[in-house]
Amino acid sequence: MQGHGILISHVYFAGLIFFVVFSSVKIYPMNGFRFKTAIPTASDSKGLISNNGVYFSSNTHLFKIQCSKYNLISSCDGTIRSFGICGDYSILCTQDRVVLNHFQTFIGSLKRSASAIDVYSDFFAIGVDNVLEVWMMPKEYKFTLFSLHSKNIGHYRCIRFIKILNSTQIVTASDDCTVRVFDILRKKSKIIASLNDIPVGLHTNNHIIAVTCKNGSITFLNTESIEYKNVKFDANIVASASFENILALCLENMIIPKEDLKESILPINAQSSKQEVLKKTVVVIFKDFEEIYRGELDDKVIELALERNTLYVRTPSFIGGYDIRSESFVFLLDLPKILNITPLKNMIAAGCADRKIRIYMETLCIKTLYDPNSKGDILYTHLSTNICTAVYTTGYVSSFNINDSHCFRSFLVSSEPLSALSSSCMSDDGCFLFISEQANIKVIDLMRSKLVESIHLKSPIISTAFYRNYLYCIELDKTLSKINVFSGHTENVMIEDIPTNMTVKNLSVVVSTVKDILIYDLDINFATLFQSSLRHVREMKCILDLSL
What's the confidence (pLDDT) of residue 267? 44
- Closest by alpha carbon to 320, among 331, 328, 310? 331
- Rg of the chain's alpha carbons, rounded to an integer? 27
What's the confidence (pLDDT) of residue 272? 44
E strand segments, 438-478: 440-445, 450-456, 461-467, 470-475
- Closest by alpha carbon to 115, among 125, 103, 106, 100? 125
Domain 338-544 is in which class? Answer: mainly beta
Separation between Cα atoms, residue 216 and residue 249, nearest integer Å: 10
- Closest by alpha carbon to 503, among 341, 387, 334? 341
- CA angle at 24 for the pair 22 and 27, rounded to the nearest 5°: 60
Cα atoms found within 13 Å of the Cα of residue 302, Cβ hemisphere only: 18
Separation between Cα atoms, residue 446 and residue 408, nearest integer Å: 10
Identify whether the C-beta of residue 390 lies closer than 8 Å to the C-beta of residue 383.
no
Identify whether the C-beta of residue 103 lies closer than 8 Å to the C-beta of residue 91.
no
Separation between Cα atoms, residue 397 and residue 444, nearest integer Å: 10
Identify whether the C-beta of residue 357 lies closer than 8 Å to the C-beta of residue 388.
yes
Separation between Cα atoms, residue 81 and residue 44, nearest integer Å: 8
What's the confidence (pLDDT) of residue 290? 83
Separation between Cα atoms, residue 46 and residue 128, nearest integer Å: 17
According to CATH, what is the number of the domain 158-232? 2.40.10.480
- Closest by alpha carbon to 337, among 353, 315, 355? 353
State whether residue 485 is helix, strand or coil: coil
Q: Which residues contact 222 (CB under 8 A, 6 or more apart)?
A: 207, 208, 228
Going from N- to C-terminal start, the domains of the chain cover 158-232, 235-335, 338-544
> What is the block-wise mean pLDDT of the chain (548 residues), using blocks of 10 residues?
38 44 36 68 93 92 89 92 94 95 91 96 95 90 80 96 95 96 94 93 91 93 77 91 92 68 45 52 86 84 92 93 85 92 88 95 91 92 90 91 94 69 85 89 91 90 92 94 89 91 88 87 90 51 41
What's the confidence (pLDDT) of residue 269? 46
